[in-house]
Amino acid sequence: MILVNGKLTGQINVLDRGLHYGDGLFETIAYKNKHLLLWDEHWRRLAKSAKILNIDLPDKELIRQELDFVVKGQEDMVLKLLITRGVGGRGYKIPDKPNPNRIIISSDWPNHDSNLRQTGVIVRLCEMRLTRNPKLAGIKHLNRLENVIARSEWRDHSIFEGLMLDQDNYVIEGTMTNLFIIKDNEIFTSDLKYCGVEGVMREQLIKLASQLDISVKFINIKPSTLQDADEILLSNSIIGLWPVKQIQNHSYKRKPTVITEKLQHHIYTGIFY
């Protein structure tokens, strides 16, 4: 189902600046067992990003009602919410009174093998790099060509995700996931000051680790750091937290660390319904 500004339609104005410039934001939200997961957290991230791009968000309650309408009668859905700057004239200049458009698209829940949370997934390193721009770092905006090109580098269905490096050869994240490393009872994740997306699930995991008194360090991750890890994990709002069993030719022992067991327990019994 697709709603554009509350109306059932599959069309949007050709002059939308989301199309012309990627001038907008999006959120991918899990609806699981009839529950909208982490709505407040998604909204908070969206609001933070909208402030940076200077986009006026619609009313939170209005969006919530539209999300509820879209999922009515469903069990599990993936919801994508897009907010664009709205229609504009020729040129980059933002209209004096922009009128943002809101789009909600529901998709079926992906039929992932539920064992993957234990057995782990296969991952590759992408050639396409993430560019560094501190102003846009962390934001889930609509300029995603780098991710598109990175994802186009492989067709092998057994590979779940590709990790992306930045121009300085630091490993930042997956094309659609954030990256965590477990080593000697500590958690490490990439510093997202210069590029990458601050995932809502990533934020939850960082908060949770702090509540569990597990150290989380924000570092520059080199490819070699991945090989030295006890465990590598990927997170996003739909998968939760999945281990990696193989990166390129390097395999990881698939005995989960205590940290992973604790985090997964919280996600799959606490956050996920």
* Active-site residue, 173 included: yes
State the pairing for strand pair 186-190/159-165: unpaired
What does the DSSP assignment read for 196-228?
SB--HHHHHHHHHHHHTT--EEEE-B-HHHHHH
Round to whole Å and give the CA distance between 115 and 98. Answer: 47
Nearest distance from C-beta of residue 158 to a copy of itself, angstroms: 14
Binding residues for a copy of itself, rule: CB under 8 A, are 2, 4, 9-23, 26, 53-54, 78, 80, 82, 84-85, 89-94, 103, 105, 107, 128-129, 131-133, 135-136, 141-152, 167, 175-176
Nearest distance from C-beta of residue 170 to a copy of itself, angstroms: 15
- Residue among 57, 109, 55 at smallest CA distance from 79: 109
* Active-site residue, 207 included: no
- Residue among 259, 140, 255 at smallest CA distance from 195: 140
Selecting among 173, 175, 189, 245, the annotated active-site residue is 173
Q: Which is nearer to a copy of itself, 131 or 169 (CB)?
A: 131
* Active-site residue, 84 included: no
Contact partners, residue 145, CB within 8 Å, separation at least 6: none
Nearest distance from C-beta of residue 231 to a copy of itself, angstroms: 25
Round to whole Å and give the CA distance between 80 and 203. Answer: 19
Q: Which is nearer to a copy of itself, 57 or 149 (CB)?
A: 149
Nearest distance from C-beta of residue 195 to a copy of itself, angstroms: 8
So which residues are the catalytic ones?
A: 28, 140, 173
